[in-house]
Structure 1
Amino acid sequence: MSSKTELATYTHGHHSSVIRSHNWRTALNSAGYLLPYLKPDMKILDIGCGGGTITVDLANYVPSGHVIGLERAGDIVLKQARALAQEKGITNIEFVEGDANGLAYADGSFDVVLCHQVLQHVGNPVGILKEMKRVTKSGGLVAAREADYGAWLWYPDVEGLKGWQSLYDKVARHNGGEPDAGRVLHVWAKQAGFTNIKCSSSNWCYSQKDEVKWWADAWTERSVASSFATTAIDAKLATSDDLKEVSNAWKIWGEHEDAWISILSAEVICRKE
């Protein structure tokens, strides 16, 4: 069992504008690639569970099993996750604070270990995949889904959004992460020792007026108020005026009648031999 701790910094942080977007996530829209593999009695570990919306959903797919949601920033979001489970009447679940670089579980403890939009933010994604593999049973599954910021597509091409994309890349790399994680996720899995890897990809696509407004409002605020903004200024990657321009670009995009955005994520399901 490793004693290593995380060295990279989570780019988005836990500002309310970030948490609102995370709370939209469900097992179906964020872990659909994994759902066909689940069996009712499985024991699942969800790494980087955040506010627990995916984790709580997963518990419904394993009614005679058990789900653990693990989060490093426990005091910030785990209270919310526990409250959600209680509200939904989900009892085959627990939430714990921990570091995925050194999981406090014995070898072969889980049938499935997954993470969602986590590896792009860590200093040693291969090391975390190795830890996920270690605590998975022989024949069990390690699953991961990661966005690729360089592959985002949107319409219309509002002035300032490509600048946001470039700035986000710089901030994420400054924090020790890999914003284009999607395209290398399968390589990390191989480097972690997996040989049985199934790759796929899927999109979040927002085109309806309410979806577009929700996404635009989130980034209009995040661009100036979240940890992304703080890091950009502290690292001298952008000025407050630059961030205001980025925020305004998202606002203008969100008000366009034909606004559309596609957010690509890559997925891997790795079976432990």
Structure 2
Amino acid sequence: MRDEKYVLATGDTAIERLKVVEATHGPDTQAFLKRAGLREGMHVADIGCGVGIVSQWIASQVGSSGSVVGVDASAEQVQTATQLARQAGITNLRFHAASAYATGLPYGTFDMVFCRFLLMHLAHPEKALREMVALLKPAGVLAVEDGDFTAAFCWPPSHAYERCFELYRAAGAQQGADFTIGRKLFSLVCELGLHSVQVNLAQPIFAEGPQKLLPGWTIEEAAENLIAAGLASREEIEELCRQLRRLAGDKTVVFGMARMMQVWGTKQVV
């Protein structure tokens, strides 16, 4: 596997889906970051920032006396993120293309380092976490959240919904991704030697709204990878998407999305 090779589309083609991802997981992420201590004046690094949707919200919280740096391995994502931030008139936010293993950012200079939906894509998540801790000032906070895609559910039960997540996990596994890493996250962070490591669990659930379109969009974006890998036929994917669209429009059906583990801890003061 080549590190940081994503299963889904990136850049401009993914922006609409990523906006729905934020509508799905954003409220829980915002509550998590506030619980972890995000406040005005902080200097924050957002690692694996994608097109910078969460980075923009963090920038609004730290204010003009604070700053945010978003890092992503994809130059295309960084370019899109920069354009979106410029269009929004955000001046305390910049983006930087680099690996999560070697961000190129100055060590010991950040009050908080955050990542979401990053570690699952990495062959060596422990190495990325060590880099994040190195970026923190003493008493700085590491705030990490990632998913467990075995915990998604539909009620009443749906084979199409279960198959959607089965295929997504299989596509990830073929590229070395671990879409169950959320359940391991607390242990991974505890091994870093941080102080007061804490954990929370969040699982969005919807009976209506655009968030219910997300599983179908996910499969549509992953379709070419799934077909090329021999995991599904085009006909099966088209039928799954048709069924998922029908379920998304049925207000008597609930979709439980990926379960998110949220872990945070403080760097020791030496």
Give the TM-score normalised by structure 1: 0.87
Unaligned runs of 5+ in 2: none
Change (3 A) 1:8 1:87: closer
1:68 corresponding residue in structure 2:
69
1:250 CA displacement: 1.1
1:11 corresponding residue in structure 2:
7
3-state SS in 1 of match to 2:159:
coil
1:220 corresponding residue in structure 2:
216
Alpha-carbon distance in structure 2 between the residues aligned to 1:79 and 1:103: 16
User: What one-letter code is carried by the residue in structure 2 that aligns with 1:260?
Assistant: V
3-state SS in 2 of match to 1:33:
helix
Q: Please, which of 250, 264, 270 is the counterpart of residue 269 of structure 1?
A: 264
Q: Does residue 22 of the first structure (1) align with residue 18 of the second (2)? A: yes
1:84 CA displacement: 2.8
Change (3 A) 1:34 1:6: farther
Alpha-carbon distance in structure 2 between the residues aligned to 1:148 and 1:234: 25
3-state SS in 1 of match to 2:32:
coil
Q: CA RMSD in A?
A: 2.2
Give the TM-score normalised by structure 2: 0.88
User: What one-letter code is carried by the residue in structure 2 that aligns with 1:19?
Assistant: I
2:245 corresponding residue in structure 1:
251
1:81 CA displacement: 2.0
1:110 CA displacement: 0.8
User: What one-letter code is carried by the residue in structure 1 that aligns with 2:260?
Assistant: S
Alpha-carbon distance in structure 1 between the residues aligned to 2:59 and 2:100: 20
Alpha-carbon distance in structure 2 between the residues aligned to 1:23 and 1:98: 23
Change (3 A) 1:127 1:267: same
1:61 CA displacement: 1.2
Work out the number of aligned pairs and report it. 262
Alpha-carbon distance in structure 1 between the residues aligned to 2:49 and 2:119: 13
The 5-angstrom pairing of residues 126-137 of structure 1 reads 126-137=126-137
User: What one-letter code is carried by the residue in structure 2 that aligns with 1:34?
Assistant: L
State whether residues 167 and 237 of structure 1, in contact with CA within 8 Å, keep that contact through their aligned partners in structure 2. yes
Alpha-carbon distance in structure 2 between the residues aligned to 1:47 and 1:113: 7
Alpha-carbon distance in structure 2 between the residues aligned to 1:31 and 1:250: 28
Alpha-carbon distance in structure 2 between the residues aligned to 1:112 and 1:45: 7
Alpha-carbon distance in structure 1 between the residues aligned to 2:102 and 2:130: 10
1:167 CA displacement: 1.6
1:253 CA displacement: 1.2
State whether residues 38 and 61 of structure 2, in contact with CA within 8 Å, keep that contact through their aligned partners in structure 1. yes
Alpha-carbon distance in structure 2 between the residues aligned to 1:271 and 1:74: 31
Alpha-carbon distance in structure 1 between the residues aligned to 2:12 and 2:253: 24
State whether residues 45 and 70 of structure 1, in contact with CA within 8 Å, keep that contact through their aligned partners in structure 2. yes
1:53 corresponding residue in structure 2:
53
User: What one-letter code is carried by the residue in structure 1 that aligns with 2:75?
Assistant: G
State whether residues 10 and 122 of structure 1, in contact with CA within 8 Å, keep that contact through their aligned partners in structure 2. no
